[in-house]
């Protein structure tokens, strides 16, 4: 059986369940609105919402959010984008590309509206939209709503690595929209492809993950150039008209990338990240590979084994598009854990198909009163755990040096201060008089060599020379850091503030030129 609607249409009998049981039946009874509002499908959708909410309800922990807020504040105050560093003393005045400026605006507006609670609510809302869209995408592939919900719940656990008030969330929301449009085009032969170029225009101004979207678009388009069957792998070609539409859409999308405040520099930024920012890739935690010894790694292994066994034991055909997207997701997610979110999005429709043995939804067997009870219970749990300002403030105090802020304002540093990397954005956002040594804008500090010097300080490599190089008079670090221990036992430094999270030291005298680093490290 073959159709001319798209490259995967010839495999439709294997991919789409067409049994009458999977199609909603007419709702009968005295109160059809009640059965519809509190159907089993509604309950399952609410379950996805509740799980995503609970997995995100972990406070404000992303260190980037603070300088994102400050950038947006500058934009609103001066009506122009910051194009150079204004927050540090180490790279002050250096040119800088704010490559996520558009995503910063909603977070700043949310903060202005409701403070940390507003930032948290916006984060939750974007995550919910991503996974509700993913449920829809999975259902359109599998035609089994229960299997789609199960696949999305599994994907939520994989994606938590990128949960938090992060600009990348908008990128994954755009990715889901892109997949939905291309899925419709692949299955039906028609779709609003005209939306894709504006989508990429928004995407490049929002986050560098637009490059992932372009790769996904390319995989789907190129897979439709092949035709044939290779064992359990199949491919069907686009029609000439469909290919022309995709080609025009792709070219228009590439052109739309240049509609940004930084022109070609912003287009080239993902390549700069991949090939120039070596310290970023090698030292930032989210760029490490998957560790199969922790819970997240074991879950990834479970997904891989499930897909492998399904392919081995069941006579199910794969399309070239499916294989290409899965391989891209696996390579990205296993190489860098930050891309597990990408793997979760790309793998979810395939997992939903693997779970096609799950009995389909049967409206005649529905129990609306039980469903209503469960839905109300889930809503009650969400309301009970709804983010509250005091709780978010406590969460911030557990991860950032909030207690030192009154001391800094009462005793402004009279010289350069070395701060802990993860605290830079927070300190600058909460005390505008503080010029930081480093923050989590890795690119600009790596370009100037400051990040390498910071890493050398952490490793106690020539600390005296490096502290002298930047004329450091104060150090604000966690108490457990080796550098903190060394300075606490150095007579040229004294502790002027300490709490459970932070220690602030001040230099008591300038190091003499003959002092060696060996004395400082104890070697």
Do β-strands 503-507 and 474-477 pair in parallel, antiparallel, or remain unpaired? antiparallel
With left for phi above 0 and alpha for psi between -120 and 50, is residue 263 left, alpha or beta?
left
Starting at the earlier edge strand, list the strands of the sheet with 503-507. Answer: 417-419, 474-477, 503-507, 493-498
226 burial level (CB within 10 Å; 0-12, 13-18, 19+): middle
Do β-strands 228-230 and 318-319 pair in parallel, antiparallel, or remain unpaired? unpaired
- Distances in Å between the alpha carbon of 444 and those of 153, 154, 355, 440? 38, 37, 46, 10
pLDDT at 521: 39
What's the CA gap between 54 and 43, in Å, rounded? Answer: 16
pTM score, two decimals?
Answer: 0.89
What's the CA gap between 86 and 300, in Å, rounded? Answer: 41
| Residue 481: closest CA among 400, 394, 420 | 420
Is-contact 486 520, C-beta < 8 A? yes
Helix 145-159 with 101-142: angle, nearest 10 deg: 150
pLDDT at 305: 87
CA atoms within 13 A on the CB side of 42: 20
Token pair, residue 22, equals: 């999977």
What contacts 515, CB < 8 A, 6 or more positions away? Answer: 464
CA 142-134-392 angle, 5° bins: 150
pLDDT at 250: 97
| Residue 328: closest CA among 110, 175, 106 | 175
Q: For residue 209, which phi and psi values (nearest 5 degrees)?
A: -70, 0
DSSP 453-512: HHHHHHTTSSHHHHHHHTT--EEEE-TTSHHHHHHHT-TTEEEEEE-SS-EEEEE-SPPP
Q: Which fold has domain 400-521?
A: Rossmann fold (3.40.50)
Q: How far is CA 434 from the centre of its chain?
A: 29
Other C-beta atoms lying within 10 Å of the C-beta of residue 352: 30
Is-contact 499 406, C-beta < 8 A? no
What's the CA gap between 355 and 518, in Å, rounded? Answer: 62
What's the CA gap between 422 and 379, in Å, rounded? Answer: 35
Beta bridge mates, 505: 475, 495
Q: Which residues of the chain have pLDDT under 70?
A: 1-30, 509-523
Going by the DSSP 8-state scheme, the letter that residue 239 receives in this structure is P
pLDDT digits (tens, 9 = 90+) for 426-442: 999 999 999 999 999 99
Other C-beta atoms lying within 10 Å of the C-beta of residue 308: 10
pLDDT at 516: 38
pLDDT at 509: 67
Place of tokens 């993913």: 134
| Residue 41: closest CA among 371, 284, 303 | 371
Helix 240-256 with 196-206: angle, nearest 10 deg: 30
pLDDT at 523: 38
What's the CA gap between 465 and 451, in Å, rounded? Answer: 15
CA atoms within 13 A on the CB side of 187: 16
Spans of all domains in the chain: 27-57+97-380, 400-521
Is-contact 165 122, C-beta < 8 A? yes
């Amino acid at each position: 059986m073959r159709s001319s609607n798209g490259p995967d249409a010839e495999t439709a009998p294997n991919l789409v369940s067409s049994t009458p049981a999977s199609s909603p039946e007419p709702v009968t009874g005295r109160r059809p609105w009640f059965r519809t509002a509190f159907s089993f499908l509604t309950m399952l959708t609410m379950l996805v919402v509740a799980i995503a909410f609970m997995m995100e309800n972990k406070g404000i922990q992303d260190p980037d959010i603070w300088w994102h807020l400050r950038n947006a504040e500058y934009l609103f105050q001066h009506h122009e984008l910051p194009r150079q560093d204004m927050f540090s003393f180490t790279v002050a005045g250096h040119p800088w590309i704010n490559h996520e400026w558009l995503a910063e605006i909603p977070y700043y507006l949310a903060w202005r509206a409701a403070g940390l609670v507003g930032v948290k609510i916006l984060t939750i809302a974007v995550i919910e939209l991503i996974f509700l869209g993913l449920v829809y995408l999975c259902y359109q592939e599998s035609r089994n709503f229960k299997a789609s919900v199960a696949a999305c719940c599994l994907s939520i656990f994989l994606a938590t690595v990128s949960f938090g008030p992060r600009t990348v969330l908008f990128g994954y929301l755009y990715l889901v929209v892109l997949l939905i449009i291309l899925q419709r085009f692949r299955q039906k032969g028609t779709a609003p492809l005209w939306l894709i170029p504006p989508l990429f225009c928004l995407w490049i101004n929002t986050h560098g993950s637009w490059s992932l979207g372009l790769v996904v678009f390319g995989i789907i388009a190129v897979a439709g150039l092949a035709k044939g069957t290779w064992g359990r792998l199949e491919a069907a070609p686009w029609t000439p008209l469909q290919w022309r539409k995709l080609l025009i859409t792709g070219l228009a999308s590439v052109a739309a990338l240049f509609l940004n405040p930084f022109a070609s520099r912003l287009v080239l930024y993902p390549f700069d990240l991949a090939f120039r920012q070596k310290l970023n890739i090698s030292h930032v935690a989210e760029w490490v590979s998957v560790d199969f010894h922790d819970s997240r790694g074991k879950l990834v292994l479970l997904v891989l084994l499930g897909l492998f066994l399904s392919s081995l034991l069941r006579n199910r055909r794969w399309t070239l598009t499916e294989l290409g997207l899965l391989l891209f997701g696996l390579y990205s997610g296993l190489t860098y854990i930050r891309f597990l979110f990408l793997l979760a999005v790309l793998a979810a429709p395939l997992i939903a198909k693997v779970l096609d043995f799950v009995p389909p939804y049967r409206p005649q067997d529905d129990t609306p009163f039980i469903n209503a009870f469960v839905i109300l219970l889930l809503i009650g749990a969400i309301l009970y755990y709804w983010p509250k300002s005091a709780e978010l403030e406590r969460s911030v105090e557990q991860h950032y040096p909030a207690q030192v802020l009154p001391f800094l304002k009462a005793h402004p540093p009279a010289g350069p201060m070395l701060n802990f990397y993860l605290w830079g954005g927070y300190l600058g956002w909460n005390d505008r008089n503080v010029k930081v040594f480093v923050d989590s804008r890795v690119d600009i500090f790596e370009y100037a060599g400051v990040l390498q010097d910071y890493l050398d300080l952490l490793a106690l490599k020539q600390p005296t020379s490096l502290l002298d190089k930047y004329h450091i008079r104060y150090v604000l670090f966690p108490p457990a850091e080796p550098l903190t221990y060394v300075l606490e036992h150095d007579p040229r430094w004294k502790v002027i503030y300490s709490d459970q999270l932070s220690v602030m030291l001040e230099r008591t005298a300038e190091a003499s030129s003959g002092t060696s680093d060996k004395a400082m490290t104890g070697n």
